[in-house]
A and B are shown apart, each in its own frame.
Chain A
Amino acid sequence: GAVVSQHPSWVICKSGTSVKIECRSLDFQATTMFWYRQFPKQSLMLMATSNEGSKATYEQGVEKDKFLINHASLTLSTLTVTSAHPEDSSFYICSADNRDLSNYGYTFGSGTRLTVV
């Protein structure tokens, strides 16, 4: 149990276009999901907390108008990178809060590698 699916696993886009990444909890409901960004050989940095039915909470320094988050249902959160630029190229990972399940923790998706050319 506690599977999180992330799609797509990789995407290449042109500079100036927008890209949408989906994060789904497959076998549980998650009122809270998280979006992280990971640059090569670095750690995961939390970008924002996605709350079902309400606005996302962004970490300091993360542009909310550039990284649009929508959490319209208890099993789906989306991250849209708007007007992408090469410096947005990174590994984006979502996680879902499943602390009400038997195993404490946050289950992570398999990540999306974004390359902006």
Chain B
Amino acid sequence: GQQLNQSPQSMFIQEGEDVSMNCTSSSIFNTWLWYKQDPGEGPVLLIALYKAGELTSNGRLTAQFGITRKDSFLNISASIPSDVGIYFCAGGTASKLTFGTGTRLQVTL
């Protein structure tokens, strides 16, 4: 099945640093969603984006829906140890979600 290209694949950062990751697609999506997955758990929704150009924040998280509708980015400011996990973007159509390849984030003290 189709997957969205997500980068970087993994990153090691120090506590307090800002993080940025992005997701690109060859297809247009109606919505973009960002999820976080902890080991052995299902994904948890972080931010949902509904229209092209939209910029939305949720606490230390900020995400934008690309103007072309083919990309999105997620920023995390002032990272903390509990930000560790795998972040997935997902593009939504009327019928389903397509997930990105994931970004594994590790935070060092």
Given contacts A44-B43, A108-B43, contact A49 B96 (CB under 8 A): yes
Specify which chain A residues have a CB less than 8 angstroms from the CB of B3 in the assembled complex: 43, 45
Distance from B23 Cβ to chain A, minimum over Cβ atoms (Å): 11
Against B, the Cβ 8 Å flags (1 = close, 0 = not) of A83-117 are: 00000000101010000000111111111010000
Q: How many A residues touch B, CB cutoff 8 Å?
A: 25
- Confirm or deny: B67 has a beta carbon within 8 angstroms of a beta carbon on chain A: no
Q: How many B residues touch A, CB cutoff 8 Å?
A: 22
Q: How far is the CA of A77 from the CA of B31 in the complex (A)?
A: 25
Specify which chain A residues have a CB less than 8 angstroms from the CB of B31 in the assembled complex: 104
Specify which chain A residues have a CB less than 8 angstroms from the CB of B1 in the assembled complex: 45-46, 59-61
Specify which chain B residues have a CB less than 8 angstroms from the CB of A109 in the assembled complex: 42
- Confirm or deny: B48 has a beta carbon within 8 angstroms of a beta carbon on chain A: yes
- Confirm or deny: A34 has a beta carbon within 8 angstroms of a beta carbon on chain B: yes
Distance from A109 Cβ to chain B, minimum over Cβ atoms (Å): 5
A105 touching B43, Cβ below 8 Å: no
Selected contact of A104 from candidates B48, B88, B98, CB within 8 Å? B48
5 additional A-B pairs beyond A43-B102, A45-B99, beta carbons within 8 Å, are A46-B98, A49-B96, A93-B43, A95-B97, A104-B33
